[in-house]
């Protein structure tokens, strides 16, 4: 089935609530996110806005994509079970094992377990004020972009699993346009800021080429 046919379970607590102090950073404000990311020309939408701090812009998009992917995966959880997906994969050639500070040795786990670990890990990064400072005037860490690239590299794997394993379910739910738009936005952003090595994008290389070609038109 073609991916280019061109919503949901309980999401994790959103990082984009605008209920905090006026002294909080803009990326924590949902209204700001909606204004800056919008739904217009995606190629233009990924550009760093004039006068915007790069780290702030990376943070805005990290939070937004985390929420998008969390919601998209939530639509297919009934199809992605330990029985149906005993390993986290993206087709027959790509298998992903989980590793973090708790799991020192890469572990072969089911797709739902992998995604749960991943979403919990990303949330822990977002909640760590040494990485994502909440207050204006507090600097982002010097290795912030390195941390961001690791987050995006792993979030890509959820898109890859959805497309290669659950796309028929996405179509049955009428979510393919939503998925394609989200992934196109994700890839344009990744390319704009060189966040993922080309080899990591291998599972969806043909789809990515098609989406980038469309973006040029």
pLDDT tens sequence for the chain (217 residues): 434 433 333 333 333 333 333 455 544 454 544 444 344 577 788 999 888 899 999 999 999 999 999 999 999 999 999 999 999 999 889 999 998 777 678 899 999 999 999 999 999 999 999 999 988 888 999 999 999 999 999 999 999 999 999 999 999 999 988 898 899 999 999 999 999 999 999 999 999 988 888 777 6
Decide if 9 is inside a domain. no
Per-residue confidence (pLDDT) for residue 4, from 0 to 100: 40
Per-residue confidence (pLDDT) for residue 42, from 0 to 100: 78
Per-residue confidence (pLDDT) for residue 30, from 0 to 100: 47
Decide if 97 is inside a domain. yes
Question: What is the number of structural domains in the chain?
Answer: 1
Decide if 7 is inside a domain. no
d(CA 40, CA 49): 14
Decide if 5 is inside a domain. no
Decide if 13 is inside a domain. no
Decide if 15 is inside a domain. no
What is the CATH number for 32? Answer: 1.20.140.30
Is 165 in a helix, a strand, or coil? helix
Per-residue confidence (pLDDT) for residue 5, from 0 to 100: 38
Binding residues for Zn(2+): 80, 85, 161, 166
Binding residues: 80, 85, 161, 166
Decide if 45 is inside a domain. yes
Decide if 12 is inside a domain. no
Q: In terms of residue numbers, what domain contains 127?
A: 26-216
């Amino acid at each position: 089935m073609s991916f280019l046919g061109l919503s949901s379970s309980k999401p994790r607590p959103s990082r984009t609530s605008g209920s905090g102090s006026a002294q909080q950073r803009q990326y924590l404000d949902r209204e700001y996110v909606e204004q800056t990311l919008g739904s217009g020309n995606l190629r233009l939408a990924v550009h760093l806005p004039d006068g915007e701090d790069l780290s702030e812009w990376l943070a805005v998009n990290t939070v937004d994509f985390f929420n998008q992917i969390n919601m998209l995966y939530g639509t297919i959880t009934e199809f992605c079970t330990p029985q149906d997906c005993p390993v986290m994969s993206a087709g027959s050639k790509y298998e992903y094992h989980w590793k973090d500070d708790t799991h020192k040795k890469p572990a072969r786990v089911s797709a739902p377990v992998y995604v749960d670990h991943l979403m919990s890990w990303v949330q822990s990064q977002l909640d760590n004020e040494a990485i994502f400072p909440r207050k204006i005037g507090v600097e982002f860490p010097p290795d912030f972009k390195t941390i961001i690239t690791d987050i995006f590299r792993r979030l890509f794997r959820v898109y890859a699993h959805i497309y290669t394993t659950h796309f028929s379910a996405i179509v049955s739910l009428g979510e393919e346009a939503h998925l394609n738009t989200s992934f196109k936005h994700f890839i344009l952003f990744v390319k704009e800021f060189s966040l993922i090595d080309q080899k990591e994008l291998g599972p969806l290389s043909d789809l990515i080429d098609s989406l980038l070609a469309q973006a040029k038109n």
